[in-house]
Structure 1
Amino acid sequence: LPPKSLSQSPSPFTRIRCRLRELRKRIETVKSTQKITEAMKLVAAAKVRRAQEAVINGRPFTEALVELLYTINESLQCDDVDCPLTVIRPVKKVALVVITGDRGLCGSFNSAVIKKAESRISNLKGLGLDYTVISVGKKGNSYFSRKDDVSVERFVEGVGFPTAKEAQMIADDVFSLFVTEEVDKVELVYTKFVSLVKSDPVIRTLLPLSVRGEVFDVNGNCVDAVEDELFMLTTKEGKLAVERDKVRVEGGPISPLMQFEQDPVQILDAMMPLYLNSQILRALQESLASELAARMNAMSNATDNAVELKKNLSIVYNRERQAKITGEILEIVAGAEALT
């Protein structure tokens, strides 16, 4: 019988050529990914500036509105008139308004606020209190829709940059639940924008109204920022960069000699929906600013990793190419020596 033909294994130079081709493809892929992440970083930086400006521009109005509400409320105490939104009653059921993002690629932003909400739900269960959840944002909706053990009152889809219309829709639900005494307390769970590199998930009481002049969380800690950071796109060494600028924002004081032409009760009833709208809109704006800042940082880290990976792959590619050239030279020299 004729001997079986043995399959020839590829030569070392063929393997090197295949290896070089694979490395070139990987380097090109990393370059494309780097361009995408860098573009997403700059887009997020531009959007976070717009979102932070919305927060800062609305803050003096919100603080003045809170001061005015409590000024009216204090004047009503002498007349023994109570507003339903300021009544503190024994808590049997709590409504949690959980605000998350609509998209990913933003690090641990969504998971952090969901974890904060889960922690609060566990605390309420431990206290023997009932609860319900109003989920705002696609990521939160997707999470809570899979949780059969969590009572969800309503799912609210995000619409990009928050608007007063979106905030009013949530405020109407919250107002109805509290006034009809279906719930005795309403809490906001959202991400507080602290700075470009720091955002804290917080829980703050929305209803009944909190202490005068400041916004506090459920533990009595002030969550109002003393100063804010503004961001500006600039050029640095031929590339776009982000610069920070500290800005202190304060609302104007309310005159203690204010007189009301209309009945304070009517003014209070008319301003309560505006107050709820402004507080929810502010939480939505801060949450969006935090999401965009987290996405900008995540894309910045991804870009840095892509640069480092491209550098390492280029080093490996050059070594392989050098080995291939050296091997070819050795073959030529060996062939020349064999002919002599």
Structure 2
Amino acid sequence: MKLVSAAKVRRAQEAVINGRPFSETLVEMLYSINEQLQMEDIDVPLTNVRPVKKVALVVITGDRGLCGGFNNLIIKKAETRIAELKSLGLDYTVISVGKRGNLYFKRRDNIPVDRFIEGWIFPTAKEAQAIADDVFSLFVSEEVDKVELVYSKFVSLIKSNPVIQTLLPLSPKGVVCDVNGNCVDAMGDEFFRLTTKEGKLVVERDSVRAKREEFSPLLQFEQDPVQILDAMMPLYLNSQILRALQESLASELAARMNAMSNATDNAVDLKKTLSTAYNRQRQAKITNELLEIVAGAEALRQID
């Protein structure tokens, strides 16, 4: 199972790292366009920051277990955020993505859920669009005033962080931020490959850092900026949701690979412990039998 997870996480990791520059640059570009529109006092619905009365939480979990505390950490992060919203007197609703999250929220009648969505083996833009359409409808109709993504951000093979990212309205900083305004963009990434060394599987890591150029704030529009922004906002929603799905999947597979590795190591240790205990019992039994034979022989010798 470790080998299967390792093969899958490699593919998922490549999707995450290859997709990050596009999604991050897209956000910066949209922010630059939005800044100019605000200077011209033009209203764009998806970028409007209005008083928050209700928040939609898109909670992304895995479809399977055997991945350590991966799913529990995401659900705990969502529960913590829900408690914060309650303390602020705000309403909320949940869009649950993934079988583990669906099972959890279906058992919680006190948590309002707008929609349950099954997960996918490898998410694509088509699956992300289904979530984006639901989020778009909720925000534009003003059923919710803010949309947040709750997912696990892939850091490395041994680390992933549950994060909360503001999806709508568009972040005023032009970066992917959490609810506290902290950047959750990746500063550096890590590629890995499995190799063999002395008959054992080992992981070789290569750190990579994306070269990001400053995006020019001086833009000239051939078309109406509002039309450009309206056309690109659906792409923004799709790319950010797809990124969250890919990050979550890579984190889940890495967690499963580590869990299977730990299970294998524990099984080897257990085998050694049981083998030692068995050999001790066997040796004690043999020693007792030898002592009985020696004692019997000595008794016969004394009789003779």
Q: What band does the TM-score fall into relative to the shorter chain? A: over 0.9
Partner Cα distance (1:204, 1:257) in 2 = 28
State the partner residue of 1:275: 236
Which of 170, 195, 205 does residue 244 from structure 1 map onto? 205
For residue 77 of structure 1, the aligned residue among 32, 35, 38 is 38
Deviation at 1:62, TM superposition (A): 1.1
Report the counterpart of residue 25 of structure 1 in structure 2.
Answer: none
Q: In 2, are the aligned partners of 1:98 and 1:117 still within 8 Å (CA)? A: yes
Q: Does 1:233 align with 2:194?
A: yes
Q: CA deviation at 1:329?
A: 2.8
The separation in 1 between residues aligned to 2:211 and 2:62, in whole angstroms, is 28
Give 2:57's aligned residue.
96
Alpha carbons 2:31, 2:172 under 8 Å: kept: no
Count of aligned pairs between the two proteins: 301
Match of 2:270 in 1: 309
Give the partner amino acid of 1:220: G
Task: Work out which of the residue numbers 206, 209, 214 in structure 1 matches 2:175.
Answer: 214
The answer to whether the aligner puts 1:109 opposite 2:70 as a matched pair is yes
Residue 185 (str. 1) matches residue 154 (str. 2): no
State the secondary structure of the residue aligned to 1:80: coil
User: Hey, what does 1:35 align to over in structure 2?
Assistant: none
- Equivalent residue runs for 1:116-135 within 5 Å: 116-135=77-96
| Cα deviation, residue 58, structure 1 | 0.9
What per-residue deviation string (whole Å, max 9, x for no partner) do you get for residues 1-60 of structure 1? Answer: xxxxxxxxxxxxxxxxxxxxxxxxxxxxxxxxxxxxxxx222222222211110111112
| Helix, strand or coil at the partner of 1:71 | helix
Unaligned runs of 5+ in 1: 1-39
Equivalent residue for 1:143, pick from 104, 107, 114? 104
- Given that 1:102 and 1:158 are in contact with CA atoms closer than 8 Å, whether structure 2 keeps it comes out as yes
TM-score (norm: length of structure 1) = 0.84
Q: Deviations over 1:42-90 (max 9, x none)?
A: 2222222211110111112112211221232233234422211100111
Distance 1:164 1:153 in 2: 21
SS of 1:61's partner is helix
Q: Percent identity?
A: 79
Shift in Å at residue 260 of structure 1? 2.6
Q: Please give the alpha-carbon distance, in whole angstroms, between the structure 1 residues aligned to 2:89 and 2:298.
A: 91
- 1:282-321 alignment runs, 5 A limit: 282-321=243-282
Give the Cα separation in 2 of the matches to 1:47 and 1:250: 27
Aligned-residue RMSD, C-alpha: 1.6
Which deviates the most, 89-98 or 194-203?
Answer: 194-203
Q: In structure 1, the residue corresponding to 2:115 is in which secondary structure? A: strand
Change (3 A) 1:60 1:251: farther
Higher mean displacement: 77-86 or 200-209: 77-86
Q: Could you say which residue in structure 2 is the equivalent of 1:328? A: 289
Q: Does 1:158 align with 2:146?
A: no
Find the aligned partners of 1:175 and 1:78 in 2 and give their Cα distance.
25
Counterparts of 1:139 and 1:234 in 2: how far apart (Å)? Answer: 32
